[in-house]
Amino acid sequence: MPSRLLGRDDEIRCLDGLIGAAREGRGGVLVLHGEAGIGKSALLEHVRETVSGFRVLDASGSEFETELPFAALHQLCVPLLDQLAGLAPGRRAALEAAFGLSSATPDVLRIGLATLDLLAAASPVVCLVDDAHWLDDASAKVFSFLGRRLAADAIVLVFAAREPGVLTGLPALVVKGLPDAQARALLAAEPVDDKVRERLLAEARGNPLALLELPRAGGFALPDVSSVPSAIEAGFQARFADLPDDARTLLVVAGADPTGEPRLLWTAAQRLGLDLTTAGAAAEASGLVTLSTRVRFCHPLARSAVYLAADAAERQAVHLALAAVTDAQADPDRRVWHLAQAGTGPDDSVAAELERSASRARSRGGVAAAAAFLERAAALSLDPRLRAERTLAAGRAKFDAGAVDDAAELLSTVDTGLLGSAELAQADLLLGRLAFVRNPVNDGPEFVLSAARRMSGVPARECVLDALEMGLMVGRASGVMDVVVREARSMPAETDVLNALVVLSREGHRAAVPLLRQAFTDDRLMWTRHPALATMLAGELWDTSVHHAVTGWLMRTGREAGSPFVLRLGLAQTAVVAVHAGDFGTAMSAIAEEEAVADALGVTPLPYPRLHLAAMRGSREELRRQTGHATHAAGRVAGLLVANAHWASAVLHNALGDYPAALSAARLAVEPGDLYLTGISLPELVEAAMRCGEEKSALAALEDLTERTTAAGTEWGLGVAASARALVSGEEADYRAALSHLEITTARPYLARAHLLYGEWLRRAGRRVDAREQLRAAHDLLSSMGMQAFATRAAQELRATGEVARSRSAQAADALTVQEQHIARLVATGATSKEVAARLFLSPRTVDAHLRNVFRKLGINSRRQLKDLSWS
């Protein structure tokens, strides 16, 4: 029987609860974090020794492998690789790409799903991951994905880390020092006198490993002079120093090879000429390491203590031996990494190999690894020009990996005098991106435009559009537009989107719209290069067909290429398009799916579609919550997110009849002159201004709206403009024109509002019978779509004519969460649990668990019954 850990009853109770829940099919995750030596590894060992009926899988992060993509994930899954053949082909291919078994490009989301399938097939399973603060970035992302998606699978993940770090957001438990009584009990077995015991207790501060190791060190640091982990490492190094030379070298080899593979250890040791028998016996006798089917140190601190205790020459010899025995075909990246550590100076051949490893790492999704390889390659480069180019490449890779400060530091060391014009342009592009990320209101666009000046033709024009799209994503487009247009005017005129934007800025919509349409027709690749800009320009055209086309491309490309960014943008645009078509069910489904992708990635969902949906539904509390998120997210940068929030507030307050608040919000939305947002905000400004008696403001807004919509020439735009014009003119012909245009569009919310405005005008004109017809049509449309605030306004108007509006019938979706609605809708169309799981990055068991909740809430008991319910 394993001995009970002293002072760890609460932690053990928590871990036992996780295991118990998994026995009932409810998986879970826990991140144990605390200082080195505090007992995290002991708790993992406790789980390993006490769990029964579960398969136990181990992995450990390594400070020497933080740059190798999927290193820790591969370590965890090695015992299950023989089951890869049982996975669906797409899932199997994803894991094969991650583990370097194929040349395909891996996708973290697909790899996460494949790993979930692999673990589910082996369940019940417990995964124990030590030293998680040293996980490679790619593995950490997959583990975070798994940690959020174990609710219905008999899988337990337990991590031990000094800080949660990349696993922040997962359930965590701080492991603290032992209370005094338990600390004394742990130290009781050590043969030390009372004075020494009190000093040890003071120095260890409840750290169990310190209490066990400090007495062996033969001396103790003064309290507070060094950290407890440092003192523990000193103890390990003292034991290491007492060993024979061969045993010490053998331990250094073990410390330098984080794979724990005995074959590598012994063949490298043999290459170094060590006496394997005596060296192995002495190393194990020290208690620092166990040499069995896997090489394991007694504690992660022991590994680092041993490695750091060796001198530079010994470490270089060890890495050289490990490089020699590492298979160049099966594991080229680890081999070249050892070669890089073995070098004593610049080596162009090793630098070239590192550059090739960087290319392989990037193709496998290991951007962080590519950056590390390139940075080391630069350091080993003899040729100054190659060193400068590789440093620049490393900086770009660091930026792509999210290490912004590291990227900036690397870029500052580049000798730009050695770069050609193409590389200088790349440097300017990186400076621009860095400037945007670090301070979105500064001169980021100027750096990007500087890059454009170093180029010519299409690349230059692409750089200018890059600058504009950056402005769209992190700030207002209007502020960047002036700079972009000024730069573009000096370039040769071409029939493309950039030329159309220049014309838009100089001559207005009538001249620019034909050019914008031509750009969409001639340059569909623009969607791939600038998808965010393409969606904004489609909205500027008031053209649902173009918007649908762009959105469809985003969805197809996002799913086929496995690009989370493109897929999330496509889902967000799907939701926005659906909202403005009055199809709130489709909008909620797209929002739920985008939220699932964001959750899988551990990022915040895109707020734009939620703002649009809350505004149109008239959900005051939801809009307040989303507006608060938007304002907080935007911070001091007056970005498009805030402009969306102002538009949404204007819509809601017009629906509620709070016209002063609507007018204030509409003015804020229109003021910056943003692409798309200004156009759809102008009708709200016209309505609110007229209701507040500010006819001059309404006329100015109507003139702007008319210029835009007339140029666009779409039924949607013309109908919205006619409805706004009717408010100003009071002419019945304008109300009828609005209906005539909007009745042949998919813009049902705008048609319903046109009926409402017409009905209100008729009632105030004393034509109660005619008003009832329009108000009844408005109320029916608004109610059926779920536009409750506007529907209430229509019902009040209808009552004023002497007719009571029919109440809205209950919808099946009303009782469900957004995610449950999406699952129910998919299943109602005939989708299987596996198909739904793939869409939402869940396991089929989790989908089934959600379905059970759906059935309970709706009072049904079969999938077939879902098809009979109303999901409009």
Residue-level pLDDT at 634: 47
Q: What is the mean pLDDT of residues 402-416?
A: 81
- Per-residue model confidence as pLDDT tens digits over 375-408: 888 888 888 999 998 998 888 887 776 677 788 8
CA distance 707 to 540: 12
Q: Would the pLDDT of 220 be above 60?
A: no
- Contact between 484 and 503 under an 8 Å Cβ cutoff? The reply is no
Residue-level pLDDT at 224: 41
Type of residue found at 242: D
- Per-residue model confidence as pLDDT tens digits over 34-84: 988 888 988 999 999 999 999 999 998 887 677 777 888 988 998 998 888
Superfamily of domain 9-174: P-loop containing nucleotide triphosphate hydrolases (3.40.50.300)
Alpha helices in 475-583 (DSSP H): 477-488, 497-507, 509-522, 525-529, 531-540, 544-561, 564-580
Q: Would the pLDDT of 219 be above 50?
A: no
Contact residues for 834 (Cβ-Cβ < 8 A; gap 6+): 844
Confidence band, pLDDT 50/70/90 cuts, at residue 633: low
- 403 vs 90, residue with greater confidence: 90
Residue-level pLDDT at 808: 59
Lowest mean pLDDT: which of 148-162, 244-258, 442-456, 538-552?
A: 442-456
- Per-residue model confidence as pLDDT tens digits over 173-206: 999 988 878 877 777 766 555 666 676 677 667 7
Q: Would the pLDDT of 282 be above 70?
A: yes
Gap between the terminal Cα atoms of the chain: 60
Residue-level pLDDT at 249: 93
Fold of the domain built from segment(s) 816-866: Arc Repressor Mutant, subunit A (1.10.10)
CA distance 133 to 222: 28
Q: In the numeric block, which tokens belong to residue 62?
A: 């390594």
State how far the alpha carbon of 72 is from the alpha carbons of 47, 56, 83, in Å: 20, 15, 18
Alpha helices in 155-244 (DSSP H): 180-187, 194-204, 208-213, 228-241
Q: In the numeric block, which tokens belong to residue 183?
A: 């600390």
Residue-level pLDDT at 211: 72
- 14 vs 809, residue with greater confidence: 14
Q: What is the mean pLDDT of residues 131-154?
A: 86
State how far the alpha carbon of 107 is from the alpha carbons of 1, 406, 519, 801, 833, in Å: 43, 25, 32, 60, 22
- 739 vs 822, residue with greater confidence: 739
- Per-residue model confidence as pLDDT tens digits over 315-350: 889 999 998 998 887 778 888 888 888 877 788 888
Residue-level pLDDT at 218: 44
CA distance 452 to 150: 48
pLDDT above 70 as % of the chain: 83
Q: Beta 55-60 vs 28-33: how paired, if at all?
A: unpaired
Residue-level pLDDT at 812: 57
Count Cβ atoms within 10 A of the Cβ of residue 327 and give its class: 0-12 exposed, 13-18 middle, 19 or more buried. Answer: exposed
Range ranked top by mean pLDDT from 92-106, 452-466, 688-702: 688-702
- Contact between 500 and 515 under an 8 Å Cβ cutoff? The reply is yes
Confidence band, pLDDT 50/70/90 cuts, at residue 614: very high
- Contact between 129 and 159 under an 8 Å Cβ cutoff? The reply is yes
Confidence band, pLDDT 50/70/90 cuts, at residue 248: very high
The b-or-e profile of 351-377 (16+ CB within 10 A means b, else e) is bbbbbebbebbbbbbbbbbbbbbbbbb
Mean per-residue pLDDT of the chain: 82
Q: CB count, 10 Å around CB of 625?
A: 13
Confidence band, pLDDT 50/70/90 cuts, at residue 638: very low
pLDDT above 90 as % of the chain: 31
Residue-level pLDDT at 222: 34
Q: Would the pLDDT of 635 be above 50?
A: no
Write the Ramachandran bin of 771: left for phi over 0, alpha for psi from -120 to 50, otherwise beta: alpha
Residue-level pLDDT at 507: 87
- Per-residue model confidence as pLDDT tens digits over 696-706: 999 999 999 99
Q: What is the mean pLDDT of residues 775-789?
A: 93
Q: What is the mean pLDDT of residues 770-778?
A: 95
Q: How many alpha carbons fall within 13 Å on the CB side of residue 254?
A: 30
Q: What is the mean pLDDT of residues 661-682?
A: 91
Q: What is the mean pLDDT of residues 516-535?
A: 74
Type of residue found at 153: D
The residue to which tokens 């730009």 are assigned: 416
CA distance 477 to 462: 16
- Contact between 805 and 794 under an 8 Å Cβ cutoff? The reply is yes
Q: How many alpha carbons fall within 13 Å on the CB side of residue 270?
A: 8
CA distance 834 to 848: 10
- Per-residue model confidence as pLDDT tens digits over 476-517: 445 556 666 666 666 555 557 777 888 888 888 999 899 888
CA distance 698 to 210: 75
Q: Would the pLDDT of 579 be above 90?
A: yes
Range ranked top by mean pLDDT from 37-41, 516-520, 524-528: 37-41
Confidence band, pLDDT 50/70/90 cuts, at residue 655: very high
Q: Is the dihedral of CA 597, 599, 603, 608 positive or negative?
A: positive
- Per-residue model confidence as pLDDT tens digits over 823-867: 888 888 888 888 888 777 777 888 888 888 888 888 888 888 887
Q: Angle, nearest 10°, between helix axes 584-601 and 818-828?
A: 110
Contact residues for 490 (Cβ-Cβ < 8 A; gap 6+): none
- 222 vs 440, residue with greater confidence: 440
Q: Angle, nearest 10°, between helix axes 300-309 and 245-256?
A: 120
Q: In the numeric block, which tokens belong to residue 39?
A: 């007992």
Q: Would the pLDDT of 772 be above 80?
A: yes
CA distance 584 to 571: 14
CA distance 140 to 571: 25
Q: What is the mean pLDDT of residues 794-808?
A: 85
Confidence band, pLDDT 50/70/90 cuts, at residue 436: low
Alpha helices in 78-193 (DSSP H): 89-98, 108-122, 137-147, 180-187
Give 61's DSSP letter. -
- Per-residue model confidence as pLDDT tens digits over 355-369: 888 887 776 656 667
Q: Would the pLDDT of 690 be above 90?
A: yes
- Contact between 121 and 81 under an 8 Å Cβ cutoff? The reply is no
